[in-house]
């Protein structure tokens, strides 16, 4: 569309198919011309709910620099018919455009007076001005969404938590209430929440600084050519839902990888002929959830739960907390059971009537299965309750 904002200017955008992400900063992909390339990934997030084999990526060719291993950069992807901007190096340019074109309802009267402004030991993305009043603003890019909600961060961010605290301290300098602007790259969500499942410390700080920091989550959309769409809107933050659900309690999934087939003695349950591959265990701790997950990650000499025997033989253990005030362990086990077969009758289900709480996922890691991510989002991003 003529005249609309384009963060990449006239740079030629190319399409490629995702193959693999060997590390946080690199993706392997294949251009539509057939050429296989490596591209820099300018986004530190996990994004494993979006990056599957054959996902359509958008890449650009950047001038080669001595410090860069590849001349390609992955700037976006296609998910369920939506184009999503991944390049966090463009987030501030997008934010500046939204501010200057007066597209953020609560900041209409403010002008950009500076960028990358240092205050004491901290640096903030923007300084805004209205007459003699000043306002600091920090920008974050959000690409984690599903089931009507957007969440941030998708990986633990101590830096993000510190930014919230530093913004809160600025309030005491007498300036206007500082703002943290979350640019949400999808028009589908209605709600915004900190991801208290993944980063409890960030989320607690998010809640604690509420009196001192204003949070503005703005949903925007991109056309397939990465020009900005005309629609945008502020998302609602369900504060009371957050207050109730944020806590060190709830259910969890434990992903375990057994490197080779072997017979395991599972306490009184007896012998399990375990195949090599991935297993999913469903448990809960309605108090002390983090301590429980830490316990599962350590190898132990004395076994207490059925899963301890399997954990002892596992080469990888991935904990996925689903924090909630509700008891949903057996409900969750039933949902996992619709995707994967029960691995051993009664495993982890001594106190309930479920067929079992351990499931066999085979050779494909559950985190590489789109259906597994949908299940995870359904439980991690429930409709906020009043």
Query: Site residues (CB under 5 A) for Zn ion?
Result: 330, 349, 352, 354
Is the distance from CB of 182 to CB of 193 less than 8 angstroms? no
CB 349, min distance to Zn ion, A: 5
CB 249, min distance to Zn ion, A: 17
CB 193, min distance to Zn ion, A: 27
CB 166, min distance to Zn ion, A: 45
**Residue 257 exposed, middle or buried by CB count within 10 Å (0-12, 13-18, 19+):** middle
Instruction: Give the pair of three-digit tokens for residue 120.
Output: 């004491």
CB 329, min distance to Zn ion, A: 6
**Which residue, 6 or 357, has its beta carbon nearer to Zn ion?**
357
CB 352, min distance to Zn ion, A: 3
Pairing of strands 214-222, 179-184: parallel
CB 353, min distance to Zn ion, A: 7
**Which residue, 46 or 357, has its beta carbon nearer to Zn ion?**
357
**Which residue, 146 or 356, has its beta carbon nearer to Zn ion?**
356
Q: How far is CA 80 from CA 146, 191, 260, in A?
A: 11, 19, 36
User: From CA 157, how far away is CA 148, in angstroms rounded?
Assistant: 23
**Which residue, 318 or 330, has its beta carbon nearer to Zn ion?**
330
User: From CA 143, how far away is CA 137, in angstroms rounded?
Assistant: 20
**Which residue, 316 or 331, has its beta carbon nearer to Zn ion?**
331
Containing 35, the helix (H) or strand (E) segment is none
**Which residue, 285 or 354, has its beta carbon nearer to Zn ion?**
354
Return phi, psi of residue 276, to 5°.
Answer: -65, 155
Sheet holding 149-152, edge to edge: 144-146, 149-152, 191-194
In the complex, residue closest to Zn ion by CB: 354
**Which residue, 181 or 322, has its beta carbon nearer to Zn ion?**
322
**How far apart, in Å, do the first and last CA atoms of the chain sit?**
41
| Torsion angle of the four alpha carbons 80, 85, 88, 90, in this order, in degrees rounded to the nearest 10 | -170
Instruction: Give the pair of three-digit tokens for residue 136.
Output: 């600091």
CB 5, min distance to Zn ion, A: 51
Selection from 143, 21, 35 nearest residue 83 by Cα: 143
**Which residue, 102 or 327, has its beta carbon nearer to Zn ion?**
327
CB 172, min distance to Zn ion, A: 50
**Which residue, 105 or 267, has its beta carbon nearer to Zn ion?**
267
Write down the H helix ranges in the chain: 91-100, 158-170, 200-208, 239-245, 289-297, 306-313, 329-337, 370-380
Selection from 312, 317, 278 nearest residue 297 by Cα: 317
């Amino acid at each position: 569309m003529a005249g609309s904002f384009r963060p990449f200017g006239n740079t030629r955008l190319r399409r490629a198919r995702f193959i693999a992400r060997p590390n946080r900063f690199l993706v392997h992909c294949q251009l539509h011309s057939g050429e296989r390339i490596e591209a820099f990934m300018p986004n530190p997030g996990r994004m494993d709910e979006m990056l599957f084999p054959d996902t359509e990526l958008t890449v650009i060719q950047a001038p080669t620099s001595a410090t860069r291993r590849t001349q390609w950069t992955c700037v976006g992807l296609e998910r369920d018919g939506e184009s999503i901007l991944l390049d966090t190096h463009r987030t501030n340019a997008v934010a500046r455009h939204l501010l200057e074109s007066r597209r953020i309802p609560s900041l209409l009267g403010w002008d950009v007076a500076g960028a990358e402004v240092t205050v004491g030991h901290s640096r903030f993305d923007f300084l805004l001005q209205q007459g003699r009043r000043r306002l600091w603003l920090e920008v974050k890019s959000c690409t984690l969404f599903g089931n009507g909600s957007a969440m941030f961060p998708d990986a633990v961010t101590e830096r993000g938590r510190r930014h919230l605290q530093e913004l809160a301290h600025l309030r005491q300098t007498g300036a206007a209430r500082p703002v943290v602007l979350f640019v949400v790259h999808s028009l589908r969500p209605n709600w915004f929440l900190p991801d208290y499942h993944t980063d409890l410390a960030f989320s607690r700080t998010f809640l604690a600084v509420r009196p001192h920091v204003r949070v503005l989550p703005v949903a925007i959309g991109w056309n397939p050519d990465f020009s900005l769409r005309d629609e945008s809107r502020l998302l609602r933050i369900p504060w009371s839902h957050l207050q109730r659900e944020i806590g060190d309690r709830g259910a969890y999934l434990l992903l375990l990888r057994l490197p080779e087939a072997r017979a395991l003695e599972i306490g009184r349950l007896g012998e399990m002929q375990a195949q090599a591959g991935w297993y999913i265990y469903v448990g809960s701790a309605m108090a002390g959830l983090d301590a429980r997950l830490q316990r599962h990650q350590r190898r132990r000499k004395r076994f207490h739960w059925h899963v301890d025997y399997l954990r002892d033989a596992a080469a990888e253990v991935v904990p996925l907390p689903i924090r909630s005030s509700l008891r949903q362990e057996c409900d969750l086990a039933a949902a996992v059971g619709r995707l994967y077969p029960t691995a051993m009758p009664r495993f982890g289900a001594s106190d309930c009537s479920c067929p079992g709480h351990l499931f066999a996922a085979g050779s494909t890691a559950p985190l590489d299965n789109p259906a597994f991510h949908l299940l995870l989002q359904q439980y991690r991003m429930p409709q906020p309750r009043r």
